[in-house]
Amino acid sequence: MSKYNFPRVVVTGMGALTPIGNNVDEFWQGLIEGRNGCDMLTGFDTTNFVTKFGCEVKNFDPLQYVNRKEVQRMDKFTIFAMAAAEMCMQHSKLDLSKTDLERCGVIVGSGIGGMETYEKQHAGLLARNGDPSKISPFFIPMLILDIMPGHIAIKYGFKGVNYATVSACSTSTHAIANAVVHIQRGDADVILTGGSEAVLTPMGVGGFNALKALSTRNDDPKTASRPFDKDRDGFVMGEGAGILMLENLDHALARNATIYAEIAGVGLTDDAFHITQPAANGEGAARSMKTAIKDAGLKPEDVDYINAHGTSTPPNDINETAAIKTVFGEHAYKMNISSTKSMTGHLLGATGAIEAIATIKAIENSIVPPTINLFEADEKCDLNYTPMKPVKRNIDVALSNTFGFGGHNATLCIKKYKA
């Protein structure tokens, strides 16, 4: 039991679909190899775009996870989530015939949702001179965020808590945090949770270009995502999905589940400052980390590793560094920190889930994944960001940070499981 006498919440399954690997093992191998998921975009004609590259999911066959009819009736973000959920279910070895499905839930989010569907349907409307008669009857169900946890619940018969979260880049961390709270409240024994995103589309890339948030390093896209580097010029968009199975510890032990980690604490705050820019010195991010550590009943010096938000944007990296120094003081220089976005790009609403998985694998393997493309650190970013190569290190406690437009800050405190 936690310090609040709530049930302990553990991770008993994971599924990942990412730009550097189409399952958890491939994803982790890609991280420790420093694999780069960035390349020129193939999904649409980028001739007129300021940014022409991104981190796409590669060699993915949706028919391994959904049938042909479902492919036509689901947006890509939902298909990605269905794939990651199936991987997670197989990994968890949960026997549905021996499980109370009314106590199983799904909380999965997306920052933007069915943008590809919206663009295609709108283009069709314009091509027909505004005649709406051919709009697909599946348009709305394909578009809306909550259809994703709905489809997952239908597939596995999970009849408990079910909804989608949306908080920009913090989306899937909020989903995981909410799942923790529902299990602690006693609302569920098992929850599939995480996030999915698939907006490498003309409006997705064009919109972030309009914000001047993306790197424009078209001459060298492989080095475009360079968190904490002095020459960073914006983030690189990615796509994919991450799903985790969270479970009440007693329920997990009763079915002899393999336990991969414990979600020991969560921290959720807002900057209340600006719609896109972080608060000065990462004030809200610092409170998020402090809250997660306190929620876990730990002290700052207990933390060994931080999977940073580390977007490769000028404001984020400086402010996140300042926030870490505020929370940890001198201990900030004793931890390892890394940004796996240097390899995967920024998966927006899915980023928290895949980075939670990366953090859990780091704990499990006692290896800190690197920050690649860190050639020369910004002078205001002077912590140990694990540049270029992975580092062997025992990790008992780690944080995973995600911060989103709107000032949303979300931190998970993840521990090595100990009975």
Decide: helix, strand or coil at residue 266: strand
408 has catalytic annotation: no
Q: Name beta bridge partners: 346.
A: 237
Residue ranges of alpha helices (H) inside 4-66 are 24-33
CA distance 270 to 292: 14
- Residue 89 has which token pair? 């279910």
CA distance 320 to 323: 5
Q: Name beta bridge partners: 336.
A: 305
CA distance 289 to 397: 13
Q: What is the 8-class DSSP label of residue 261?
A: E
122 has catalytic annotation: no
CA distance 111 to 196: 8
- The active-site residue, picked from 91, 151, 174, 346, is 346
Q: Which of 84, 111, 24 is nearest to 359 (CA)?
A: 24
Q: Which of 155, 147, 151, 148 is nearest to 96 (CA)?
A: 155
Decide: helix, strand or coil at residue 291: helix
- The active-site residue, picked from 55, 88, 169, 381, is 169
Q: Which of 226, 205, 269, 278 is nearest to 56 (CA)?
A: 205
Q: Residue 289 CA to chain centroid, in angstroms?
A: 17
CA distance 241 to 81: 6
Give the CA distances from residue 142 to residues 8, 66, 119, 200, 271, in Å, rounded to whole numbers and listed in that order: 36, 14, 12, 17, 32
Q: What is the 8-class DSSP label of residue 44?
A: S
- The active-site residue, picked from 182, 309, 381, 413, is 309
Give the CA distances from residue 292 to residues 24, 38, 61, 337, in Å, rounded to whole numbers and listed in that order: 25, 32, 38, 17
- Residue 396 has which token pair? 């008992």
- Residue 20 has which token pair? 């550097």
Strand positions, DSSP E, 271-407: 305-307, 336-338, 367-368, 391-392, 397-404
Decide: helix, strand or coil at residue 335: coil
Active site residues: 169, 309, 346
